[in-house]
Amino acid sequence: MSEGFSREGFNAVAHIEADANACSTLKTRLAYHYHKEKKSLKRYYDYLRKENSREDLWAGVPSGLLDSIIQEEISQKNLKLLYSKIDKLLGERTVDLLIGGPPCQAYSLVGRSRDPNRMVGDARNYLFRHYAKFLRRYEPRFFVFENVLGLMTAGNESYLNEMRNLFRKIGYQTDLGVLNAEDYGVLQRRRRVVIIGRRGSGFFDFPKLETIKNEWQIKKDLFADLPNLRPGEEMDVATYSAPTNSYLETTDIRNGLKFTTQHITRNHIERDLEIYSIAIDNWVNGRKRLKYNELPLHLRTHKNVAGFLDRFKVVDPLGHSHTMMATLPRTGITTFILIATKLDPFRCGRRPVFNLFRTITFSKGVGQRHLHKLVTLFHH
C-alpha cells in the first residue's frame, strides 16, 4: 500500500517495519521515487543492472529521507521510542493518512485451519489495538486498514466488531469493502477486506472505486515478453524478448525500461515433473484441480492426506490466476504451474510447462512477535 499511495502523490512521514529485509525494500523504493523526482533515475537503473550496490543507491538519497524507515517492532515497550522518532520526522506538519494492518495469519481461514487452537488466544488477534494508539496520538483525517477475508468471520466476528467499536470510540467513523485485485487490472483473483476510517462524527460510506475491464490473459499479455528459460536457469538482468503490449503499458509494468531483473526458474526433479504432468492433464481435460490424496503412492512425500490437498495448482494461461498463497513455515509449499504452448521451453513429460512460485520469508520470530508492516503515516 505504501507504494501505491506514494505513486499518487502522498509523502510518507514514517514507515514502521520490524523486518530488516522489508526495510531494505522500503529504502530502495524510496530511493527510486527520490531519483525519479530529481530526474536522476540512471543511478537506480545502474543499481538494477548491478553496476553499483544498494548502499551506493541509498547514498544518493538525503539521510533525512532514509530516516523515515524505522526498523522497530511495534509493541507496548517500544511506543515511547516510536513516538519520539515520528514526532521528530513530522515536525510542524500534520498527518493526513495512516495505512497498514497487522499480520494476516491470525485472521486467515488457512491460518486458523492449521493451528491446533484455531488461533484462539494468539496475541496477533489484538494487534489492531496498537494501530488505534497511533490513530489517537496523530489524529489523521483518514486511515486505511487492510487484511484477509477471514477477518470478517474470525472469532465469530468478535475481532472485527471490537475493532470498529474501538475506532468509533476514538473518533473515527468506518465502513468496509471487499476488493478484488482482478477488478483493478491484476491478473489474479485476490480479494481483501479494506476498512476506511474518517475522523469526525458524520456518516461515512465506503467510496465507490472505479474498476477496469480486465480481459487480459496470463500468457498472452503478462508473460509474452519474457525470454524462455529452462529449469534452474536464471537471468539477473534480462532483455525483453518481445515488444510491449497494451496490458504492460496500461499497468506500467514495463515502466519505460528495456530490461527486467530476477528472471529465475526453479529446478525440477523427476518426481515433480510427473506430478506436474498429472496436474496439467486434470486441468486441460476436465478443468479439475489435482488433490494430493489422488496422487499415486510413489509420488507422495507427505503423510497428511486429509488437509492441505491443493499443493499443486495449474494457472490458467488463457485467463487469470486463482489466488496465489504464500509459502508458510511448517505448512508445506504450494506450487503454481503455468502451461506453456511453445515447443521449446520446459518439458513436463510430453507437455511444455514452466513453474511459478511465490514465497514470503519470515525472519525468526516475526510470525509470533512482530507487528509486520503495520503503519505508514502520510502527509499530503
Query: Quick one: pLDDT at residue 200?
Result: 94
Q: Which residues, listed in sequence order, are joined to residue 16 by a DSSP beta bridge?
A: 70, 375
Q: What is the DSSP letter of 60?
A: T
Q: Which residues of the chain have pLDDT under 70?
A: 102-126, 155-157, 325-336, 338-375, 380
Residue 146 corresponds to which cell in the numbers above?
A: 487492510
Give the pLDDT of residue 7: 87
Q: Is 104 a catalytic residue?
A: yes
In the numeric block, which cell numbers belong to residue 213?
475491464
List the beta strands (DSSP E) in 82-208: 97-100, 142-147, 172-180, 191-199
Orientation of helix 158-169 relative to helix 128-138, angle to 10°: 10
Query: Vertex 262, ends 258 and 264: CA angle to 5°?
Result: 120
Structural domain boundaries in the chain: 267-356
CB count in 10 Å sphere of residue 131: 22
Residue pLDDT, tens place only, 104-118: 555 444 544 454 444
Helix axes 128-138, 79-90, angle to 10 degrees: 40
- Predicted pLDDT of residue 304: 85
Contacts of 376 (CB under 8 A, 6+ apart): 1, 2, 5, 12, 14, 15, 16, 98, 99, 100
Best CA proximity match to 193, nearest among 181, 210, 205: 181
Q: Are 14 and 86 in contact (CB under 8 A)?
A: yes
Query: Using CA of residue 291, residue 294, residue 297, residue 299, what is the dihedral sign?
Result: negative
Cell of 240: 525483453
pLDDT of residue 203: 87
Region of residue 344 (left: phi > 0; alpha: psi -120 to 50; beta: else): alpha
Q: In terms of DSSP H, where are the helices of 178-227?
A: none
Residue 46 has a pLDDT of 95
Residue 305's alpha-carbon distances to 112, 121, 169, in angstroms, are 18, 28, 47
pTM of the entire predicted model: 0.81
Whole-number Å distance between alpha carbons of 9 and 30: 13
Residue 240 CB-half CA count within 13 A = 17
What pLDDT does 202 receive? 85
Active-site choice (82, 104, 135, 353): 104
Q: At residue 312, what are phi and psi to the nearest 5 degrees?
A: -125, 115
